[in-house]
């Protein structure tokens, strides 16, 4: 089975102090550490597990600058066979749709049976690139997948729904799946593993190689434009109510009445 995995390099912001940069349209990333998007790490692991079980190849693709090579090499160290980086100034400012369009043109150059992406990216949380990519390629897709069963030329996939529910669907290949966290346990990548793939070629394609015009990608090819990024405003401190249950209930009712919640 030949599998393509689309990945993204993102900043780690969980335990970092975040500030807005001078443009007002992004966060200041100068002091942040970058790594492979969490959802994508599960997608690449699932691809490698399928390759180990069924044979075939795993090709990983990322859109970004030379710094994306770090994440691509991590995927190679995990077990991917080939890596491709899509780089062009024309790609800057691409929304989810324009990003999917760039990926689609790269994917068309590669024989594949299955495409995997993460359900979403940690930095923008769009959750739309994978499904848009499937539509552009004209192949079936399933989103938020947490289990895959291969049945000849068909897959049985389990999808995570809200409220703890799960949906099981059958889907013909070739297909695209967006992978949810928890589907597996991504393997550890050692420094030695990274060194072994340090000289492995990472192919690079720009807009001309993908037969894309400047007005089809970037801001010109995007329907969504980022206007402003800001930190959530700090609200009033919470009021802790103390006393017996009946006293607290009385205070709550008085607060609700004062705020207009009770008539």
Task: Kindly report, residue by residue over 82-128, the tens digit of the pLDDT.
Answer: 999 999 999 999 999 999 999 999 999 999 999 999 999 988 888 99
pLDDT score at 169: 95
Q: How is residue 175 written in tokens?
A: 């297909």
Domains of the chain, with CATH numbers? Answer: 2-216 (3.40.50.620)
pLDDT score at 203: 95
State pTM to two decimals.
Answer: 0.86
Residues of the chain with pLDDT under 70: 262-263
Give the E-state strand segments of 50-122 in sequence order.
57-63, 82-86, 114-118
Burial 68-106 (b: 16+ CB within 10 A, else e): bbebbbbbbbbbbbbbbbbbbebbebbbbbbbbbbbbbb
Q: What Å distances lie between residue 120 and 7, 57, 116, 258, CA to CA? A: 10, 24, 12, 42
Which residues is 85 bridged to in the sheet?
A: 62, 204
Task: Please state whether the peptide bond connecting residue 145 to the residue before it is cis, i.e. omega within 30 degrees of 0.
Answer: no
Q: How is residue 214 written in tokens?
A: 């400047």
Q: Which residue from 78, 120, 82, 70 is spatially nearest to 2, judged by alpha carbons? A: 82
N-terminal to C-terminal alpha carbon distance within the chain: 65
């Amino acid at each position: 089975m030949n599998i393509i995995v689309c990945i993204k390099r993102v900043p780690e912001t969980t335990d970092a102090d975040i500030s807005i940069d001078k443009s007002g349209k992004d966060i200041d990333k100068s002091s942040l550490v970058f790594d492979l998007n969490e959802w994508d790490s599960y997608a690449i692991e699932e691809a490698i597990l399928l390759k180990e079980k069924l044979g075939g190849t795993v090709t990983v693709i990322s859109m970004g600058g030379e710094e994306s090579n770090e994440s691509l090499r991590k995927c190679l160290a995990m077990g991917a066979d080939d890596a491709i980086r899509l780089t062009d100034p024309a790609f800057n400012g691409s929304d989810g749709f324009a990003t999917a369009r760039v990926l689609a043109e790269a994917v068309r150059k590669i024989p594949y049976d299955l495409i995997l992406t993460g359900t979403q990216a940690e930095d923008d949380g769009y959750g739309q690139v994978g499904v848009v990519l499937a539509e552009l390629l004209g192949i079936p897709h399933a989103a938020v997948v947490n289990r895959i069963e291969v049945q000849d030329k068909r897959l049985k996939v389990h999808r995570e729904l809200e409220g703890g529910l799960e949906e099981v669907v059958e889907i013909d290949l070739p297909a695209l799946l967006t992978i949810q966290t928890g589907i597996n346990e991504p393997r550890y990548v050692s420094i030695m593993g990274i060194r072994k793939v340090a000289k492995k070629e990472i192919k690079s394609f720009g807009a001309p190689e993908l037969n894309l015009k400047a007005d089809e990608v970037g801001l010109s090819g995007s329907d969504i434009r980022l206007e402003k990024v800001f930190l959530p405003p700090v609200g009033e401190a919470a009021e802790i109510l103390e006393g017996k249950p009946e006293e607290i209930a009385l205070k709550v009712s008085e607060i609700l009445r004062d705020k207009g919640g009770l008539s």
